[in-house]
């Protein structure tokens, strides 16, 4: 007779707790998108568009960990998914160009232009059919686009009730039924492990999740640009909420590569609860 311990290590319990919180946040974004659809009477996205996917995606390490679990769990129905995901990550990481590599980096150097260029690259998970390869595992910044911050000026989403060319519906404040911002803050403050709280390119984190040794080898061989290796630590997201976009704009700190996504008018006047028709 085998004796099986029911003791679960504390670090695993914490990880499950993070995943539970993240799952609730993702459902919260889905509910917010549905609220917009109900108010405006039009779908939140146009199938086969892909315009919001024409840039590389940022995420937290915990989101890559969660996405990796979802991908592994879907292999029964999509057996080739993991290989395709890793191939796409590898291609993006090792894409040739005029980059600065670790072995060629001496002292202090301004990599801001290279960072903008890497950020402007099309998301490696966008298929030729303009669909997301890992839609159910996409991170928060993808879910926030057009939901908690304004879509781009070229967004083809049809105008709905109360909308016109200069004003679109977004969720701007938490509601008792869907306290999104508070949920995100609670998750980020609860994460103890730096590897889960760090910020960087989603493709880098996801590749590291499954192929850490290979990634280390590619970096050692000078095949991964320095900007695609760089990560930040903590501090929350910059690009989830419209007031963050407006604040960046007001402080003249917003990057020109995402200029089309930033409100060029003040949309923060008045106290608004729930949905708000925000001006561009």
Tell the burial category of 13 from Cβ atoms under 10 Å away from its Cβ (0-12, 13-18, 19+).
exposed
227, 116 contact by CB (below 8 A): no
Please give the chain's pLDDT, 280 residues, in tens: 444 445 668 888 999 999 999 999 999 999 999 999 999 999 999 988 999 999 999 999 999 999 999 999 999 899 999 999 999 999 999 999 999 987 655 566 788 899 999 999 999 999 999 999 999 999 999 999 999 999 888 889 999 998 887 888 999 867 787 899 999 999 999 999 999 999 999 999 999 999 999 999 999 999 999 999 988 876 666 789 888 888 877 764 445 544 444 333 333 322 222 343 344 3
Q: Where are the beta strands (DSSP E) in the chain?
A: 58-60, 167-171, 198-201, 232-233, 275-279
Q: How many domains does the chain have?
A: 1
Is residue 163 situated within a structural domain?
yes
Structure token pair of residue 72: 């592994």
- pTM for the model: 0.84
Is residue 4 situated within a structural domain?
no
Range of the domain at 23: 10-279
- Give the per-residue pLDDT at 248: 76
- Give the per-residue pLDDT at 34: 95
């Amino acid at each position: 007779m085998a004796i099986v311990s029911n003791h679960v290590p504390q670090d695993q319990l914490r990880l499950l707790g993070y995943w539970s919180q993240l799952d609730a946040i993702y459902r919260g974004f889905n509910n917010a998108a549905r609220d917009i659809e109900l108010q405006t009477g039009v779908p939140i996205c146009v199938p086969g568009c892909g315009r919001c996917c024409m840039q590389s995606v940022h995420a937290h390490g915990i989101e890559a960990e969660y996405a990796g679990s979802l991908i592994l769990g879907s292999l029964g129905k999509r057996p080739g998914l993991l290989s395709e995901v890793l191939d796409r990550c590898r291609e993006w990481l090792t894409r040739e160009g005029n980059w600065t590599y670790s072995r060629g980096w001496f002292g202090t150097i301004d990599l801001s232009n290279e960072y903008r260029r890497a950020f402007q690259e099309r998301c490696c998970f966008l298929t030729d059919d303009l669909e997301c390869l890992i839609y159910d595992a996409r991170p928060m910044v993808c879910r926030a686009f057009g939901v908690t911050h304004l879509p781009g000026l070229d967004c083809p989403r049809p105008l709905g009730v109360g909308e016109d060319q200069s004003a679109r519906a977004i969720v701007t404040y938490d509601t008792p039924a869907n306290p999104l911002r508070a949920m995100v803050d609670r998750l980020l403050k609860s994460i103890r492990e730096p590897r889960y709280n760090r910020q960087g390119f989603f493709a880098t984190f996801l590749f590291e999740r499954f192929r850490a040794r290979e990634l280390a080898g590619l970096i050692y061989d000078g095949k991964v640009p320095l900007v695609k290796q760089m990560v930040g630590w903590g501090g929350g997201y910059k690009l989830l909420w419209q007031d963050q976009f407006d604040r960046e704009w007001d402080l003249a700190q917003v990057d020109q590569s995402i200029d089309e996504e930033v409100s060029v008018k003040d949309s923060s006047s008045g106290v608004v609860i729930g949905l708000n028709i925000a001006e561009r």
